[in-house]
Structure 1
């Protein structure tokens, strides 16, 4: 029996800082310099946006650290943007997935501190592993002097959505999957999620294995705005595919579910942009997460909640972008400033704003 407990805070609680990453020169974009430059620019824009609300740490491989330092030296924000050199030239941008998941460790006695859970990141089911990102969590915790929490399961931060009040949303396809947890039952995995995140109830949404590079992460599908309120990304397809089915199944599950406190959910849908607004993904791009035979991730619920703000993705569909802002204002407007950020390359690479961030809670 452990003499301590772990608890994951909701994203809307205060943060000490947020971790982002510049893509490395030897990473999956090394043969695509234009995409590398665009991804770097969008992460940098995101860092500047978050810097309006709270401190930011941008991890950068040694081969790009001087470039990063020079760039951010010219960026003026109310809160500091720190560049942090990290060993390895194969850095990726999806810190939500390969960085530690930070939790509060309590006990024994009255002791409390922030520690990181290392969920044994394996490159989204061995699809896109590089040494830099598969070893990132353990090295970062050691170098930054955070406690390290081991676990027997493999998952990513983008697969875990908690309300901080005992409820966790996950997709079965991204965790109960032999490419991450071979031989483990859903109950075994659920027990470990409860232990490492301090939740009381896990709500399983089916998802679809192989539908995208993450096997259908929850953070582009359904997100808590606050306890009892969930924003759902509404599929927008002229010809329905499995994505529409996933959306419909998500609505069905959440409409009949209650949270850990027995409350039914208020569900607010945010329709995705029209695909006709965008050019098809580039042809001939091999080995890059998000591009090979996969739909771009253009989900407005893949937002990030810094202190007092909402960093809301915009994609270049004027009507749907504006509609998403209106929904965000209705949901968050009285307590948070809506800060829209246009992203074009990150969705093509298989993620978005939330995927590129990982927060460290402000505690104690």
Structure 2
């Protein structure tokens, strides 16, 4: 019997810092220098937005470190943006997926602490692995002297959406998949997820293998607003495709589901921006990620993606105001390149929560 338990906190719990990263010149976008530049600029804008609410750690490969120093020396924000040098030149931006997932380790005796779960990132099923990203979780935890929790499965942080009260949302296609976990059953995967995240109930959404580079992550489809309340991305397609079917399936499943506490869900919809904004599609023929639910919660705020669609952008802000009221300041950030590359605001970030023991000491 283990002498400790692990528990993933909800994103609305107090946070210590947020991690982001600059893409490296030898990474996935090596043949696309213009895209590399635009992705860098958008990640930098998100980092600055977050730094209005809490501290940021920006992981930068050694090849671009001096460039990042010059850039951020000119930036003044209420909270610090601290650069952290990572050896290697193939860094990517999707910190949600290849950074550790930070959880609370609660020992039988003694104080709780924050530890990092390493999900054995393999480039979303060996689609886009790079030498820097596949070891990033291990490297980061070693650099910051945070205990590393090893796991027996492969997944990414964008696959995992929890309410902090024992409920996990996840898509089957992103983890019960031979490109990540060959030979492993759903029961084996469930057992490891429950152990590493302190989960009591898992709600599985089918999604589709191969529909995008992530095999359909949950964090662009549906998110917890608070326990019992979900925000789902409503498909907006002139000619419905499998993406519309994915949305409809998720809505049907969750409409009749209950969480770990037995509560039925209140479900709010927010419609995607118009698809003609992203003519030409996304990276390597993938569909651009046009999702307002790929937001980020920070201390006292919400970093909300905007896409340059005046009507839908404004509607998303109204939904955020309705859901979060006065408890969070809405900070909109315009993104165009990140959706084309396959993600958004949530995808490029990973939060480090405040340890409950540290929080109680402050109160």
Scaled by the length of structure 1, what TM-score is found?
0.97
Are residue 348 (structure 1) and residue 340 (structure 2) matched?
Answer: yes
Aligned partners of 1:211 and 1:313: how far apart in 2?
A: 22
Question: Superposition RMSD on alpha carbons, in Å?
Answer: 0.8
Give the deviation of 1:277 after TM superposition. Answer: 2.8
CA offsets 1:6-62 (integer angstroms, 9 cap, x no match): 000000111110000000011111221111110000000000000000000000001
**Structure 2 match to 1:217:** 217
Structure 2 counterparts to residues 160-179 of structure 1, below 5 A? 160-179=160-179
**Could you tell me how far 1:131 is from its partner in structure 2?**
1.1
Matched, 1:45 2:45: yes
Residues 263-317 of structure 1 deviation map (CA, whole Å, 9 limit, x = unaligned): 0000000100111233313xxxxxxxx5112110010000000100010000111
1:132 and 2:124 aligned: no
How far residue 174 of structure 1 moved from its aligned partner, in angstroms, is: 0.3
Give 3-state SS (helix, strand or coil) of 2:85's partner: strand
1:149-179 Cα offsets, whole Å, 9 max, x none, are 0110000000000000110000001010000
Task: Quote the residue 1:284 is aligned against.
Answer: none
Aligned ranges for residues 80-159 of structure 1 at < 5 Å? Answer: 80-159=80-159
For 1:312 and 1:121, how far apart are their aligned partners in 2? Answer: 27
* Partner residue, 1:183: 183
Structure 1 moving runs of 4+ over 4 Å: none
Matched position secondary structure for 1:45 = helix
Matches of 2:251 and 2:270 in 1, distance apart?
12
Determine the C-alpha separation between the residues in 2 that align with 1:176 and 1:209.
Answer: 10
Cα distance in 2 for residues equivalent to 1:93 and 1:154: 19
1:296 lines up with 2:285 in the alignment: no
Asked if the contact 2:278–2:288 (Cα under 8 Å) also holds between the matched residues in 1, the reply is no
Q: Shift of the alpha carbon at 1:199?
A: 1.1
Task: Return the alpha-carbon distance in structure 2 between the equivalents of residues 60 and 135 of structure 1.
Answer: 14
- CA–CA distance in structure 1, aligned partners of residues 187 and 242 of structure 2: 26
Within 1, Cα distance between the matches of 2:213 and 2:33?
A: 22
- Is 1:60 the counterpart of 2:46? The answer is no
Give the SS at the match of 1:69.
helix
Partner of 2:300: 308
Show structure 2 runs of 5+ residues with no match: 359-363
Distance between the aligned counterparts of 2:64 and 2:27, measured in 1?
Answer: 12
Name the counterpart of 1:203: 203
Q: Which residue of 1 aligns with 2:267?
A: 267
Q: Structure 1 unaligned segments of length 5 or more: list them.
A: 282-289
What CA distance in whole angstroms lies between the structure 1 residues aligned with 2:12 and 2:118? 22
For residues 108 and 145 of structure 2, the distance between their equivalents in structure 1, rounded to whole angstroms, comes to 20
Q: Distance in 2 between matches of 1:43 and 1:277?
A: 20
The aligned residue for residue 327 of structure 1 is 319
1: CA distance, partners of 2:241 / 2:201: 30
Alignment match, 2:31? 31
Query: Aligned pairs, how many?
Result: 356
TM-score (norm 2): 0.97
